[in-house]
Structure 1
Amino acid sequence: MSAILSLFSTQFVSAAEHSDTADFWVLTALEPPFSQRNERGQLEGYLIELVSGILAEANIDQPILAAPWERVISEAQQKANVVIFPLARKPEREDQFHWVLPLTANVYGVLGKTSPSHPISNIADLITVSPIGVFENDFRHKLLLAENVQNVASYKDYDSAVSDLVSGQLSSLFFSDAGLRYFCFKQQADCSDMKILYQYDTLTSYIALSKSTDIGHIKIMNDAAERFFKSQNFMQIQQSWLEKLSAQGPLKLHIKNGVLNLW
């Protein structure tokens, strides 16, 4: 972890020293297939291309830097002028960030093939489908910890979590149906018997700004996002990636009001 953070800090210092907009950070956490590194180590994906388009519209010449979610959130909470994405918009976060533009919407829940002894109506009932896998330090991980749910297994990547779910080492996984289908397809695993055992919520992810961002920067980002949203380039990126993502497994996707819905 220290090596990753060291590289992250070095990348930012280098970018800041050579940019006219050095007071902007642009941070993300990787969420394949929407944001990931290719074989050359470069960031790519639907979200990367969209946010890059908004940055270009705003004349912000800053690289997008990737780091673990805990680091990304920490930087956004402590520093001004931090662009962060994709950030799920939840009630407890409403006043902690400036929300710029919705990107994707997804249905989150606990998935598995084990039939619980009785219907799961609340988080406390999840004990019947444990051990439960979850992405480390994700909002779902923190939710389970806050609710004192026992037998929770945290993972640093979804590949390992889905693999353990398929093999039976996990009884369930707090994820999304679209995400599960993608990783099952990637691993060539049969997940046809997997289903949502408990539906938590439908959340929309945004490009957002840290709360202490100055008014001028907020206006720059909001105006650029509005112009980009109305542009032909935006629609072309959406249609192109809709086709690409639909080819990456049995994903059910549709676009509504400019938001990519993952169902």
Structure 2
Amino acid sequence: MYLRQIVFILLMLCAFLTQAGAVKVIATPEYPFTFINEQGQIDGFAVALAQQIQKRIPGQDVPVDSYPWARLIKVLSEEPDVVGLAVARTPEREENFYWITPVARSIHGLYALKQNHVLLEDMSQVKNIGPIGVLRGDFRETILRQAGATELVLYNNWQQVVEALLKGRVNAIFTSSSGIHYLCPPTRFECKAVENIYIYKVVTTYIAMSKNGTDISTVEQWREAAAQFKHDRQFVLMSKRWVEQYRRDKNMQLYLDNGAINIWPDPHQPISKNTNSP
């Protein structure tokens, strides 16, 4: 009886230690890599990638919670043991988080309606084009402020940002090519008038982990598990399934490259004649 009690206590202790390092995994629903599916669950390539990493770490198989973007960044910045999905890695954020593994690369820039005749040769001119729509708390808000923009209109989600442009509430918006393609597809009449007026740069989104109070051993566990999965054929198969789904459902041009998805046409593949470019 005494031996059984000792074994039971040891098992409970092991279970506690295993769960003690469990993290909180959060994401903002923003197509294409994190979104709410028809079943009302958070889904997408970044979610699937995180779940596969979690399976390779004892005690880390926790659900992904949906957070508004401003709250996600706040929690990721302030709380320990938090994993954020699809967070853009920028110079301003470089030292704020631990960067686990890349998710995707996309082209970011400013978009306007053709009829507005907005011209932009460099970022220093953003202060001259009037109100600009951007997501509240997003890294692009910081970039615009640093460039001297003063007429910023902040929104809580990207759908609001795009609609503001279409309805003439702002003269331009700062977003990504993937966001424009999804939220304002060329098949929608009003969206045919949207054009890119300035390419900022290619930005890579990552699975990121909070720095404040997070033990480095937890970070290394996630990095090692991510590296192991990405060297497994299962990662390639999973990525290809998602790429095909995005192409089929949204006619997106994207491809897997060096462990992440590039959101632009594959230079090694011919572009379909039926493809509508944003």
Q: What is the TM-score of this pair, normalised by structure 1?
A: 0.84
What amino acid does structure 2 have at the position aligned with 1:220?
Q
Q: Which residue of 2 aligns with 1:104?
A: 104
Q: 1:115 Cα deviation (Å)? A: 7.0
Question: Are 2:220 and 1:228 equivalent residues in the alignment?
Answer: no
2:48 match: secondary structure: helix
Q: 1:258 Cα deviation (Å)? A: 1.6
Q: Which residue of 2 aligns with 1:254?
A: 255
Question: Are 2:50 and 1:51 equivalent residues in the alignment?
Answer: yes
Distance 1:174 1:77 in 2: 23
Distance verdict in 2 for CA 1:219–1:118, change over 3 Å:
closer
| Count of aligned pairs | 246
Distance verdict in 2 for CA 1:85–1:151, change over 3 Å:
same
What amino acid does structure 2 have at the position aligned with 1:207?
I
Q: Which residue of 1 aligns with 2:122?
A: 122
Stretches (4+) displaced over 4 A = 115-119
Distance verdict in 2 for CA 1:224–1:83, change over 3 Å:
same
Distance 2:215 2:236 in 1: 30
Q: Which residue of 2 aligns with 1:69?
A: 69
Distance 1:260 1:127 in 2: 33
Structure 2: runs of 5 or more not aligned? 1-15, 265-278
Q: Which residue of 1 aligns with 2:214?
A: 213
| Contact 1:102 1:207 survives alignment (8 Å) | yes
Report the structure number with the largest CA radius of gyration: 2
Distance 1:43 1:49 in 2: 10
Q: Name the stretch that deviates more: 181-190 or 251-260.
A: 181-190
Q: Which residue of 2 aligns with 1:6?
A: none
What amino acid does structure 2 have at the position aligned with 1:217?
T
Q: 1:173 Cα deviation (Å)? A: 1.2
Distance 2:187 2:140 in 1: 23
Distance 1:246 1:182 in 2: 11
CA RMSD of aligned residues (A): 2.4
| Contact 1:22 1:62 survives alignment (8 Å) | no
Q: 1:190 Cα deviation (Å)? A: 4.3
Q: Name the stretch that deviates more: 80-89 or 118-127.
A: 118-127
Q: Which residue of 1 aligns with 2:4?
A: none
Q: Which residue of 1 aligns with 2:271?
A: none
Q: 1:118 Cα deviation (Å)? A: 7.9
Matches within 5 A, 1:1-263: 20-21=19-20, 23-59=22-58, 60-114=60-114, 119-185=119-185, 188-211=188-211, 212-263=213-264
Q: Which residue of 1 aligns with 2:268?
A: none
Distance verdict in 2 for CA 1:186–1:156, change over 3 Å:
farther
Q: What is the TM-score of this pair, normalised by structure 2?
A: 0.79
| Contact 1:102 1:259 survives alignment (8 Å) | yes
Distance 2:19 2:187 in 1: 43
Distance 1:249 1:118 in 2: 28
| Contact 2:32 2:178 survives alignment (8 Å) | no
